[in-house]
Amino acid sequence: MLSILAHNTRKIQEATQMSDITKACRDISELSVSAQAACTLFLDKCKKAGLSVLITETYRPQARQNWLYEQGRTRPGNVVTWTRNSRHTGRMAWDICKHVKGQEYSDNSFFVKCGSIAKELGITWGGTWETPDKPHFEISSTWKEPKKEDDEMITKELVIINKNEYAMDAIRKDGNVYVKVRDLMMAPGIEVKSRGRIPVIETK
Ligand SMILES: [Zn+2]
């Protein structure tokens, strides 16, 4: 009786493990805390860009990674992975496809757009690899959310006028430097006046 019970328990355990190994986990909450943050930011940006992203896999237990590695090697099927060591097992990677039936993996521009969003966020896209893995995205253990440029943040920026340097209050935004027109008067020979609301710049 006991042995039958033990046998049945083992059968159930085996069945559970089997289903774990063959089934992809799509749960973002199974990723590391930083990968969850990265993945969430990535999905938000993709959504804003009109890209319909479906997560197909997140955390992958080592047993599943090994099982996938065996596919096309010791087990029939196409090779689906090149490594037993994956950032999926370290909870640092996720895979996606296009969430449109029939176009899951056929739309190259979809993956390229997702890849450029990933780059903005400091996320590595598998599509840039020597052996490309377009559905794959991962972060390193040192990943940090890129600092948002604060539109209202005034800093001192160096401006060179007629070969002389001047530190001016400035706002950096989208690769441009905004300075106050009247600060140009720091440079000798430049006069800034106004005609109503219109700044007038004259060289003396
Ligand atoms: Zn992957």
Two tokens at 15? 């069945």
Cα(35)–Cα(123) distance, integer angstroms: 9
Tens-level pLDDT at each residue, the chain (204 residues): 555 555 555 555 554 554 579 999 999 999 999 999 999 999 999 999 999 999 999 999 999 999 999 999 999 999 989 899 999 999 999 999 999 999 999 999 999 999 999 999 999 999 999 999 999 999 999 999 988 765 578 888 899 999 999 999 998 887 788 999 999 999 999 999 989 889 999 988
Cα(182)–Cα(193) distance, integer angstroms: 8
Cα(204)–Cα(198) distance, integer angstroms: 19
Cα(141)–Cα(122) distance, integer angstroms: 12
Looking at residue 175, what is its pLDDT? 79
- 2-138 architecture in CATH? 2-Layer Sandwich (3.30)
Looking at residue 3, what is its pLDDT? 55
| DSSP class per residue in 2-65 | HHHHHHHHHHHHHHHHHHHHHS----GGGS-HHHHHHHHHHHHHHHHTT--EEEEE----HHHH
Ligand 1 center–CA 54 separation, angstroms = 13
| Every domain range in the chain assigned CATH 3.30.1380.10 | 2-138
Ligand 1 center–CA 95 separation, angstroms = 5
Ligand 1 center–CA 161 separation, angstroms = 51
Contact 91, 60 (CB under 8 A): no
Ligand 1 center–CA 49 separation, angstroms = 22
Nearest to 38 by CA among 133, 138, 181: 138
- Render the burial of 45-61: b for 16+ CB within 10 Å, e for the rest: bbeeeebebebbbbbbe
Ligand 1 center–CA 154 separation, angstroms = 41
Helices then strands (H, E): number in the chain?
4, 9
